[in-house]
Structure 1
Amino acid sequence: MLRRPMLLPFDFTKDPYLVLDFSATNPDLATLDLTNTAVFNDYVFGKLQQAGAIVGVGGYNEHRVIYRRSEHFQQTVEPRVVHLGIDFWAEAGTPVFAVMDGVVHSFQDNANFGDYGPTIILEHEVNYRPLYSLYGHLSRSSLNGLLWGQKIKAGDKIGEIGPYPENGDWPPHLHFQLMTDMLGLTGDFPGVCSLSERAYWLRICPDPNRLLGIAGL
């Protein structure tokens, strides 16, 4: 049996999880003050508790309405609304593991409201080509002691899911994204794009579930 990489301490073949919808098709979102992180947090974890799930998942290539909560996604002529990674909504302090062997490409605290907060980007080699993995919304302590170029093995703990507000002021979750090209960026990379640029960014940011193999995504 093919062994899937371990990103979080959950077995997605056995542990209960819930696919969360943050698009306009979810009527709940119209009734929530998403700028109030405590309200947003209660909604997310209330849904998980209701479903008997320990983690919420989803979001790749999802046209979302939740980015209206932050000016960070409205600073261009066309708002950024299409999500380029997978989110894992779980308790703050949940450990996060490297999915493949690699090195630390870069890291920083992207501290704008609604941004990634503490972020780690790893560089890997797959079929002689570079591939990058981004881990966003971590705890600030996750960045302690890191070095650019530091070797990382698959399964190494690289951090923890951060609490709000230090995680960019979101309900606790991990944003996990793959990129084939860093476009010269360090410590940060777009995790959301505009509708008109959707095809361009999806070519650079392949579906992480091809690697993770979570059913229902």
Structure 2
Amino acid sequence: MDFSKFLSGLHPDGVSVLDSGIPKSKYIPIDLSETNDFLNTVDVSSSSKLGGFVDNHINKQHAEVAYGGYLEIRNIYKRSTHFNSQAEEERNIHLGVDLWCPAGTPIFSPFDSVVHSFNNNENFGDYGPTIILKHHISGIDFYTLYGHLSLASLNNLEVGQRFKQADKIAELGDASVNGDYPPHLHFQIIKDIQDFNGDYPGVCSKANLEFYKNNCPDPEVLLKLSLK
């Protein structure tokens, strides 16, 4: 089975993990890759300065959300030993899509779901509060991960808790709790969750790229944000 094709066919117009009332015309792509020469003039180790870059990009185009980042090679991870240690190859390839928007923005389940796991991943540069949902559709199980949430999003949450499609599941956190990033949602699809609970790699090394490309397809197959 072509997993990406299966996902793409679930909803021809795309699903929403933010307010479904935000039109796609208010979503704009943003380039945070190492090849963006202008970004190389920004101190990306500072969440406030990176946030200023993102906010300026959104405001200049009269948008509400900036999105992108799947398989993007980023310099931003160089600031954190969570992604760079002497014991392994540098991890700098982003495996999800980021949706950049204000702290407190509500997050919604794209399908009927069950809470697989959740955790506050507190490493510097990590996800911070994170929720992983399990979906079962047409006999197929898969998972979606939501990173950089508010601490309150984990309050009273339970493994096995059920959400209907479009139910609110969380809100975005700010830099004080989300791994020290400007507010944004890291949204990732996972085919095989393996033995992970409340966490799953959202950034990989070049050596492991082929595995993760297969296990974590482009979230655009669900979101379809490029279809204006």
| TM-score tier after normalising by the smaller chain length | over 0.9
SS in 1 for 2:53: helix
Gapped runs of 5+ residues in structure 2? 1-10
Matched to 1:160, the amino acid is E
Determine whether 1:73 maps to 2:73.
no
Q: Which amino acid aligns with 1:175?
A: H
Tell me how far 1:6 sits from its aligned partner: 2.1
Matches within 5 A, 1:38-117: 38-75=48-85, 76-117=87-128
Query: Which ranges of structure 1 fall in alignment gaps of 5 or more residues?
Result: none
- In structure 2, the residue matched to 1:20 is 30
- The whole-number CA distance in structure 1 between the counterparts of 2:153 and 2:215 is 26
The alpha-carbon distance between structure 1 residues 216 and 27, as it changes in their structure 2 partners (threshold 3 A), is farther
Aligned to 1:181: 192
CA distance in 1, matches of 2:132, 2:186: 11
Q: Secondary structure at the match of 1:72?
A: coil
Give, as a single letter, the amino acid of the residue that structure 2 aligns with 1:98. S
Which residue, 118, 127, 130 being the options, matches 1:119? 130
1:194 matched residue in structure 2: 205
Question: How far apart are residue 215 of structure 1 and its match?
Answer: 0.9
Partner of 1:36: 46
String of CA shifts for 1:168-191, please: whole Å, max 9, x gaps: 110000000010111111000000
State the 1:69 CA deviation: 2.1
Give the secondary structure class of the aligned counterpart of 1:121. Answer: strand
Superposed displacement of residue 126, structure 1: 2.8
Distance 1:211 1:196, change over 3 A: same
Identity among equivalent positions (%) equals 45
Post-superposition offset of 1:130: 1.4
Matched pairs, number = 217
Residues 15 and 54, structure 1, Cα contact 8 Å, conserved in 2? no
| More deviation, 125-134/135-144 | 125-134
Shift of 1:11: 4.9
Please report the TM-score for the alignment, with normalisation by the length of structure 2: 0.90
Q: Contact conserved, 1:96 with 1:159, CA < 8 A, in 2?
A: yes
Secondary structure of 2:38's aligned partner: helix
Inter-partner Cα distance in structure 1 for 2:207 and 2:21: 36
CA distance in 2, matches of 1:40, 1:201: 27
